[in-house]
Amino acid sequence: MGKQYLTQPQLRLRYGNISDMTVWRWIKAGRIPAPALFGNRNYYAEDELDEADRRAKAEYRRARSKPPAPTPPHSKLAVTETDV
């Protein structure tokens, strides 16, 4: 069996009916792979999307396993040069 592809509407439904703008933002950010252009339509390789999902899931789990970095308390008494 050949490679399976999704159209843009099918891709949007796969991720919970996201907008076209979100699709392009995710492509730009590297969250999902760029589409293949057949004729005048974009098609997304399902196996590449599955791999991108696995990577995103692993990155999420890795980030959740690390304790949050401590942040210094905000000081309301900070003096700036304009205050002096």
Residue 83 lies in a domain: no
- Tally of domains within the chain: 1
The whole-angstrom separation of Cα 65 and Cα 4 is 34
Q: Given this model, what pLDDT does residue 79 score? A: 60
Residue 47 lies in a domain: yes
Q: Given this model, what pLDDT does residue 70 score? A: 82
Q: Given this model, what pLDDT does residue 75 score? A: 64
Neighbouring C-alpha atoms within 13 Å toward the C-beta of 53? 9
Residue 80 lies in a domain: no
How would you write the pLDDT of the chain (84 residues) with one tens digit per residue? 789 999 999 999 999 999 999 999 999 999 999 999 999 999 999 999 999 999 999 999 998 898 877 887 776 665 666 655
Residue 57 lies in a domain: yes
Give me the domain span that covers residue 40.
5-65
Residue 16 lies in a domain: yes
Q: Given this model, what pLDDT does residue 68 score? A: 76
